[in-house]
Amino acid sequence: MTLEDALAVADSGAAGVYLSNHGGRVLDSGQGVVEILPEVAAELKGKIAIMVDGAIRTGFDVLKVIALGADTAHIGRPLLRMSLAGGGEAVSLYYNYVKGDLRRAMIMTGCRTLKDATPDILASV
């Protein structure tokens, strides 16, 4: 969760760096992923895959982290809850919800592709 750590990961030859605050409950005042993501993206975008998780629940959240420089957005806790609550069918329903929500977010912000998602759209979401 620091630029220095992300640079060390990149220098190690890894194919990607994963930013996560591990549920945000490890430290009471720990940073959120979106607080460090722009700084990491400024240094590493296009050089190494940038993967993130943390408080991503909707398609709008996915679009926001993509706009901030993430290459992928990972959703953990909601999928776990869905799998426990209703198995594969519930996971599929949730996935389709997020996919549709992302599509709506892209339409509302004028993004034809995810490459169009830049920090400029953040005032709209």
Instruction: Determine whether 74 is an active site residue.
Output: no
pLDDT digits (tens, 9 = 90+) for 40-58: 999 999 999 999 998 899 9
The domain that contains 98 carries what CATH number? 3.20.20.70
Domain count along the chain: 1
In the chain, which residue ranges form alpha helices assigned H by DSSP? 3-11, 33-44, 59-67, 77-109
Cα 81–chain centre separation: 18
Q: What is the pLDDT of residue 28?
A: 65
Q: Note down the domain range covering 43.
A: 3-123
* pLDDT computed for residue 1 by the predictor: 82
CB 118 within 8 A of CB 42: no
Q: Which two tokens stand for residue 25?
A: 């409950």
Q: Which of 22, 81, 99, 103 is catalytic?
A: 22
Q: What's the pLDDT score for residue 26?
A: 61
Below-50 pLDDT ranges, the chain: none
Contact 97, 61 (CB under 8 A): no
As a whole number of angstroms, the distance between CA 42 and CA 37 comes to: 8
- pLDDT of 92: 96
Residue 36 has a pLDDT of 94
